[in-house]
Amino acid sequence: MATLIKLPQFGVTMTEATVVAWLKSVGDTVERGDAVANIETDKLNQEVMATASGILRRIVVPVGGVAKVMEALAVLGAASEPESAIDAALGVAAPVVPSTKTEPARAPTSAFSSTAPTRAEDEGAAVRASPLARRLAGELGVNLARVQGSGPGGRIVEEDVRTAAASGQAGGWILASPLARRLAKDAGMDLGSVTGSGPEGRIVERDIQALIAAHAVSAPAPTSSPSPVQATPAHAPSIAAGGLVAAPAVAGLTRRETVRIDAMRRIIAERMSASLQTTAQLTMFAEADATALVELRAHLVPAAKVYGHRPPTYTDIIVSIVSRVLRDHPRLNSSLVTGDTGSPEIAEWNEVNIGVAVALDAGLVVPVIRDADRKPLQTISQELGELAESARAGRLAPDTLQGGTFTITNLGQMEVDGFTPIINPPQAAILGIGRIAKRPAVVDDLVVARSQVTLSLTFDHRIVDGAPGGAFLRDVRRAIEAGKI
């Protein structure tokens, strides 16, 4: 029996995703739990797992295609099942007898035409295609609903798919990167009239940017000269797609490399900019004697290895310490929210959910340890290790990135001392941890070498005043110096 592979809702705010790669081809055997596709959302990349076993009979959404949550991405079935059974699983109606009327030719459209075919046009009609044509279409990313068949009775054959893929225009699914699609959508551009410069004619970011620039240059000049107040400086920043402020290229400089602004970098940039623009951030610093902390970890690591546990890191221990200190400082574990009356109010949370910043090659994610104040260090260490591993492997579920009430970011491995971390809205504060290093310290009127760490607390001054912020930082410092969990 045919089974649909649907796009799961990985997070409560997720509504759609772009297919960036198919890991299986039409005709491949798929086992339940196998990764079949990679999808991209505005937050992260994720693998889609098969929920059943069978043969991959049809790919519904090709590479570059966008699917809504719970829409079919592909169809599994038995090798003996007819194509009609696959159509039935998708809810596709029986083929309609072609009309003998000649359809009027479409007028050519410009790159900025708003008449680009819609997803409903692309996939709403039933198609007749040979199994080989369907497999090739899945591999080449061709939408069969837009291919004219040349076989018996209008059946789509292999050559039709190759022709459609080569044209890259109305006959097949347009090959374009997710970023190119997003930029084209923002600019009101029809991808059907864009010539791609990427592999196999794929439309990439530079193709869209070039057309946007050309359109700006070729735009008609205004009939009247702007007033001095309206004039824009030649080198003023502009708002790029997605709301990012970008500066124009500087004359006389040559690029060593152009780095694509992917979905993760875009969302990080937008959120950090919004954080600084919408909150009153203040950072204060404190030096803590970490000698007892170093001794504590030196004692815990061998014991963890004996019992087969993950050895705790300094971050693990600090998460445990901070989560318990937050119990006595609920204002630091709060958010500014809209109340029932529509007026802003401060919500102090019962849960202490600690977000921990994890650096990736593509950017940064902040998975959350829920109820950290109620968990032993061993559990925190195990969970944080698993979350970090999943994040770096691209298997982090979006739900693990939500619900944080306080964030910790540790740049000690980069040999950073103090810094000014940016709050992760709607949280009230974030704690930065610097490197632990030997520095001169005064102990009993003697100058000795002690392990020291710089703590950097950024808080929202709309919610937290300086005194309670300082009291929290003082108690964290004392807990670290006590070396107890």
CA nearest neighbour of 9 among 417, 399, 340: 399
356 in Cβ contact with 369 (< 8 Å) = yes
Residue 238 bridge partners (DSSP):
246
Catalytic residue among 42, 190, 417, 461: 461
d(CA 147, CA 150): 9
Tokens at 76, concatenated: 């599994």
Which residue is listed with tokens 């490399």?
257
Cβ atoms 44, 364 nearer than 8 A? no
Tokens of 175: 């090959």
Contact status, residue 192 vs residue 164, Cβ threshold 8 Å: no
Phi, then psi, of 52 in degrees rounded to 5: -155, 175
Distance CA 379, CA 433 (A): 21
Residues in the chain: 485
Contact assessment for residue 358 and residue 396, using Cβ atoms and an 8 Å cutoff: no
The alpha carbons of the chain give a radius of gyration, in whole angstroms, of: 28
Angstrom distance (rounded) from CA 464 to CA 473: 12
The answer to whether the beta carbons of residues 40 and 8 sit under 8 Å apart is: no
Q: What is the dihedral of CA 197, 199, 203, 205, to 10 degrees?
A: -80
In angstroms, the Cα distances linking 119 to 20, 25, 146, 182, 319 are: 17, 23, 11, 15, 47
The DSSP secondary structure of 139-168, one letter per residue, reads HHT--GGG----SGGG-B-HHHHHHHHHH-
Nearest CA among 141, 181, 180 for reference residue 164: 141
Are residues 67 and 101 in contact, defined by beta-carbon separation less than 8 angstroms? no
Q: Is 461 a catalytic residue?
A: yes
**Is 322:316 a contact under the CB 8 Å cutoff?**
no
Distance CA 120, CA 122 (A): 5
Identified catalytic residue from 28, 328, 371, 465: 465
Q: Which residue has the tokens 């492997």?
A: 393
> What is the spatial distance between Cα 447 and Cα 481, in angstroms, rounded to a whole number?
18
Residues classed as catalytic: 461, 465
